Structure 1
């Protein structure tokens, strides 16, 4: 199946275990992070944990409009989206890059 490439299953398993360990450490590191998202020029700010959990919402009084309460909901949604986008970028930079397995993944 692998011809004369000198395929070493033990080396592959050791590499997989090392990658798993790196990934676990990166996930723990990411889970400990906090990301701030905002909308409306800071009228609404949310804090999201590295695990994606919404931790806090801060709303300035100016964000509330009695004649248009749906705007506040829109600002909250926009702030959470902003935080999630920042979290995705943080996760991308925190998580280790997986090596190219030279086509083995598809076999």
Structure 2
């Protein structure tokens, strides 16, 4: 074998290992529950690692029966902030779990082969 030749068996084994790692990371993300909050914990959003909203909790103390419109506006703002916080945390987790795999593709996998 010449120094520039590609060992296809080794390449296939690396690809299979990366596929297994990717499936495992994706499963971890689907199983993860990440919490975000706003208003000092008055509203809490729970998302999975893909950013899908799973749960939303609103503290009853946010509700002001004397001013329903202001209460509705406040709750809407708090919900948006809590969901954004949770989705940002989920994106951080995605980068942690999937980032090394993506780097592996360009920094040692197919990215180093001519034509890939």
Whichever structure has more helix as a proportion of its residues is 2
Kindly state the Cα deviation for residue 20 of structure 1 after the two structures are TM-superposed.
0.3
**Alignment: residue pair count:** 105
Taking a change above 3 Å as real, the CA distance of residues 55 and 21 of structure 1, as seen in their structure-2 partners, is: same
Alignment gaps of 5+ in structure 1: none
C-alpha RMSD of matched pairs (Å)? 2.2
Deviations 1:22-81 (A, max 9, x none): 110111112111111101111100111223221111101232342412121111011001
1:90 aligns with 2:93: yes
Residue in 1 that maps onto 2:16: 17
Alignment gaps of 5+ in structure 2: none
Relative to the length of structure 2, the TM-score reads 0.77
Relative to the length of structure 1, the TM-score reads 0.83
